[in-house]
Structure 1
Amino acid sequence: MPDTHQAGIRSQALPLTEQAASLDPLMERIGDARYVLLGEASHGTADYYRVRDTLTRRLIEEKGFSFVAVEGDWPDCQAVHRSVTAAPGAPEDPGEVLAGFDRWPAWLWGNTDVAAFTRWLRRHNEELPPERRVGFHGLDVYSLWESLHAVLDHLRAHDPDQVEHALEVYRCFEPYAGEPQAYALSTRYLPEGCEPQVLSLLTELRRRAARTAGGDGSLAEFAARQNAEVLAGAESYYRAMVDSGPQSWNIRDHHMADTLDRLMDHHGPGAKAVVWAHNTHIGDARATDMADTGMVNVGQLVRERHTGKGVVLVGFGSYSGTVLAADAWGGVPRTMDVPPAHTGSLEDLLHRALPEERALFVFPHVQLQHPHAAGRTEWFHEEHGHRAIGVVYRPHAEQVATYVPTVLAQRYDAFCYLDRTQALSPLQPLAEDSREPQTWPVGV
C-alpha cells in the first residue's frame, strides 16, 4: 500500500465513537435526503446494528423520518410494526414479538440489539399522535406461505366474496406442503406453475387498494395488498431460483425497491425512509462486479429512481472479530471467529492505516465511473475486495468470492469502519431441526 494511501486514509478518517455526536458529519451529509440506506457487512455483527440504531434514532428525532424498512419478511415485521406503534391489541413489548420469529435465520431480527431499538421506538411513538408514529416494515420476498395465509385471513374478515379467489391460489400451492424448493423444482415440468392464480388474486387486491385509496388510509388494506405483492414476487422468485444466473436476485431486489416505493406512497407526501439491509443490497451494484453479471440491487434502484429526492447510502466493514452465523443453510447459529481480512482487501487497507480504530468516512459527491477514470487516484476510487459475510459462513474456508470487488466512494456515500467487531446475541436459539430450504446460495 503506498504511503500516500495510509496518510490519505488517516487524514480523511473522522472519529467514530459510541457517542451519537460522532455521527454529526454524516447527519450533515444526509441533510434533507428522504432515503437513507444503512448496510452491514454481515447479518450477525452487533456493532453494525448499534451504529445503525444510534443513527436511526437521530434521523427520527431530528429529521422526522417516517419508518424503518428492513431486509425482513412483511408479515413478521407487520407484527413488530403493530407493537411499536401501540396498535390496539398488539403486544406492549416488541421484543416479545421478535423473540417469536421462527423463520430461519431468526437471529437476523430476533436479537437483543433490534429488541432494544424497537423498545425505544415504542416509547418514542407513545409520545406522538397515531398518525405521526414511526413504522417498522419488512421489504423481503420469502414469506410466500405466511403471506398467503394473511391474505386469506384478511378476506375472510373484510371481503368474504373473494375468499374463493384466494383459496384457488392456496389449492395450487397445497401439494408442495409449504416447501418453496419443491414448488420451484415443479416449475421445470409445469413452467406456468401457480402464476396465473397468483396474478389474478393480486389484480383483485390492487383494485381493492385503489377503491380504498381515498378513504382512511387503512394499513390493514395496504398490508393485504402488500401480502399479495409478496405472493407474486415470491412465486416469481422461487420459479427463477432453479435456473442459474442473476434473475432470482434481481426479482428479489426489485421487489424490495418496489415495496419501499409503496411504503413511501402510503406514508404520504414528504415521507422519509431508513432502510436496514446487507451491504450487498444497500451499496450501489454498479460500483462492484455485480454489474458485470447483470445484477442490480436496492441501492442502485433507489439512486436511479429517487436521486432528486436525496439518497444516501452508508456501508459498513471490519477487519476481524466474531460473528453469529451458521455453517450450513438452516443450521443452528453459533458465534464464530472472523479471521483477519485478506491481504490487499479494503478491510486490510484500513486496518494497516488505522489499527484498532473506528472511523467514519464521508465521500464527496461523485458520478459513477470506471475505477481510475478521469485520473482519480484516491484510495476510495480504487477497486478493492470488500468482505461480505452471509448467514452461512465458514471462516476457515474464506475464499475470494467472500470479497466483492468494490470502488468504495461510488458504492457508498459514507462508510463506517469498525476495526474489530462482536457477534450478535439472539433472543432465543434456533431448534436444531428447524431446517429452511435454501433460497439464495450466498445467504445475504
Structure 2
Amino acid sequence: MATDIKGTTHAVEACAVMKLLPRRPRLLALGEPTHGAGTVLDARNKLFRQLVEQEGYRTIAIESDCLMGLLVDAYVTSGTGTLDEVMEHGFSHEWGAFAGNRELVRWMRAHNEDRPASERVRFSGFDGPLEITGAASPRQALTSLHAYLSAHTDTDLLPCAAGTLDRLLGSDEQWAEPAAMMDPARSFGRSAEARELRLLTDDLVALLDARTPQLIASDSHEGLHLARLYGRTAVGLLRYHFWMADTSPSRLPWLMSLRDSMMAANLLALAEQGPALVNAHNGHLQRDRSTTRMSGRPLEWWSAGALVDTRLGEEYAFLATVLGTMPHHGVSTPPPDSLEGLLYALPDDSRVVDAAGLAAALGGTRPAPRVSPYYGYSPLDPAHLDRIDGLVFVKDVPQS
C-alpha cells in the first residue's frame, strides 16, 4: 500500500495535539495498546506535562482503583506519605511498579510544591476496585459514605446504623474470594446480606443527593465529591458482586459492561470538576464497542469512552497510542500493509498523527488489521480510525 502520509504527522507536542481538536476538551484521553511499556509511558508523561503547563489541565486520571488513588492524590497535592508508600499502596493491577508511573507521580508532587491549591494538579484513579481475580469488598466505600452522612445530616434520616452495615458486610474475605471469578457458587453477591446491602446503599445514595444543598453548606464541594465517589463505588461493587453470582450466559457480558460503566461514571464526575487528562487502555477509551474472548466465547460491550462520548460530545477527545515493535514479546516489524507498518516506514521514533488526515490519505481503503502474537498487546483496528481524534505513534518499545 503506497500512501504518502508524512504530511499527517507532527512532533509529539501538546500544541500538535491541540491543533487536531476544535477546542480544548474537558476530558482528553490518551489510550495505550499495552500496559507498562516504558517508551509508551514516557510519551504519555511528556504530553501530560505539556498539557498541564500549557493548556491548564488540572487532573490526571489513570486506569487504576479509584479508592486507592486517593492516597496518590494526597501525596501529590499535600505531601502526605512517601513516594515509595503511594507507589506500593496507591495503584491497583500492580501498576505502581511501572517506572513511568513513578516518574509521573514524582513530577506531579514536584510541580505542586509551593503552588496554591487552585494551581495544583490532582491525581485520580477511575477504575473500580476490581482485579482480574475478583472484586473488592464494598466495606470501604459503604462505611465511608455512611460516616460522611452521619457527620453532616440528621442521623434519624439514615436508613441504618453503622453496626448494621458491619454485620451485613461480614468478613472482607468472603467478598474477595478468588474462586468466585470462575465459580459463581463461590460468590457472596446474591446472599441475603448482599441483597439487603444493595437496598440500604440505594437509600444512602438517595439521601446524599436529596441533602446536597445542606451538605455543601455544612462541608464543601470537595467533601461532597468524595462522598459521591464512595456512593458510586459502593453501588458499582454491589452490582458487580451480584452478577458474579449469576449462572446464566449473561454473566460475563454484564461483568465487562459494569466495569466500563463504573469507569465512565467516574470520568463524568471528573469532567464536572474541571478539565482532566485520562490514560487507560485503548479498548476502554475508544468510541467503539470493546471486544474480547473469554472462556471460548466472543464478548462485546460498550467501552467507557463510548459511554462518555454520548454525554460529552466534543468535550471528549480520544487519542490512541499505536506502536511498531516490542521484540521482547515477539512483536516484530509490522507488515508494510498494516496501519502500524505505514507509520513504521516513517523515519521518526515517535509522532502525533492526524487521524482524520490519515483516513483521508488512505481513501476508501483501510489497511489490513495487524495480528498480535502477544496477548498483552492490542493493535489498532483500522476500522476505528474515523472515530479517533489522533494517534500517538511509538516506533519501538524495548524491554524496560
TM-score (norm 2): 0.79
Determine if the alignment matches structure 1 residue 176 to structure 2 residue 174: yes
Match of 2:257 in 1: 250
Question: Match of 1:127, SS?
Answer: coil
Which residue type is aligned with residue 55 of structure 1? Answer: L
Residue 72 of structure 1 deviates from its aligned partner by 0.6
How many pairs were matched up?
Answer: 373
Match of 1:149 in 2: 140
Residue 75 of structure 1 deviates from its aligned partner by 1.8
Which residue type is aligned with residue 341 of structure 2? Answer: D
| Gap change, CA 1:416 and 1:133, over 3 Å in 2 | same
Q: Hey, what's the Cα distance between the residues in 1 that align with 2:346 and 2:14?
A: 18
Matches within 5 A, 1:345-364: 345-351=338-344, 353-354=345-346, 357-364=349-356
Q: Are 2:205 and 2:231, in contact at CA under 8 Å, matched by a contact in 1? A: yes
Q: Are 1:168 and 1:197, in contact at CA under 8 Å, matched by a contact in 2? A: no
Among 299, 305, 308, which residue is 1:299 paired with?
Answer: 305
* Cα offsets for 1:141-167 (capped at 9, x unmatched): 235536523543675687386412432
Residue 51 of structure 1 deviates from its aligned partner by 1.4
Among 68, 71, 79, which residue is 2:60 paired with?
Answer: 68
Matches within 5 A, 1:254-269: 254-265=261-272, 267=273
Q: Are 2:26 and 2:271, in contact at CA under 8 Å, matched by a contact in 1? A: no
| Gap change, CA 1:417 and 1:223, over 3 Å in 2 | same
| Gap change, CA 1:150 and 1:253, over 3 Å in 2 | closer
Match of 2:198 in 1: 198
Which residue type is aligned with residue 409 of structure 1? Answer: L
Residue 356 of structure 1 deviates from its aligned partner by 6.6
Match of 2:6 in 1: 10
Matches within 5 A, 1:16-415: 16=12, 22-30=13-21, 31-86=23-78, 90-91=80-81, 93-100=82-89, 103=92, 105-106=93-94, 108-143=95-130, 144-145=135-136, 147-149=138-140, 151-152=142-143, 155=146, 159=150, 162-171=161-170, 176=174, 178-179=176-177, 181-182=179-180, 185-186=184-185, 191=190, 194-208=194-208, 210=212, 211-217=214-220, 219-241=222-244, 243=249, 246-265=253-272, 267=273, 271-285=274-288, 294-308=300-314, 310-321=315-326, 336-341=329-334, 344-351=337-344, 353-354=345-346, 357-364=349-356, 378=362, 382=366, 384-385=368-369, 395=374, 403=379, 405-415=381-391
Which residue type is aligned with residue 35 of structure 2? Answer: H
| Gap change, CA 1:189 and 1:360, over 3 Å in 2 | closer
Q: Hey, what's the Cα distance between the residues in 1 that align with 2:198 and 2:115?
A: 38
Q: Hey, what's the Cα distance between the residues in 2 that align with 1:192 and 1:80?
A: 34
Structure 2: which 5+ runs fail to align?
156-160, 293-297
| Gap change, CA 1:175 and 1:54, over 3 Å in 2 | closer
Q: Hey, what's the Cα distance between the residues in 2 that align with 1:188 and 1:147?
A: 14
Q: Hey, what's the Cα distance between the residues in 1 that align with 2:191 and 2:397?
A: 46
TM-score (norm 1): 0.72
Residue 136 of structure 1 deviates from its aligned partner by 0.8
Question: Match of 2:326, SS?
Answer: strand
Match of 2:295 in 1: none
* Cα offsets for 1:206-264 (capped at 9, x unmatched): 52363413444254553344233223212323443564553222211111111112233
| Gap change, CA 1:199 and 1:48, over 3 Å in 2 | farther
Residue 118 of structure 1 deviates from its aligned partner by 1.5
Note the aligned Cα RMSD (angstroms): 3.6
Question: Match of 2:369, SS?
Answer: strand
| Gap change, CA 1:15 and 1:261, over 3 Å in 2 | closer
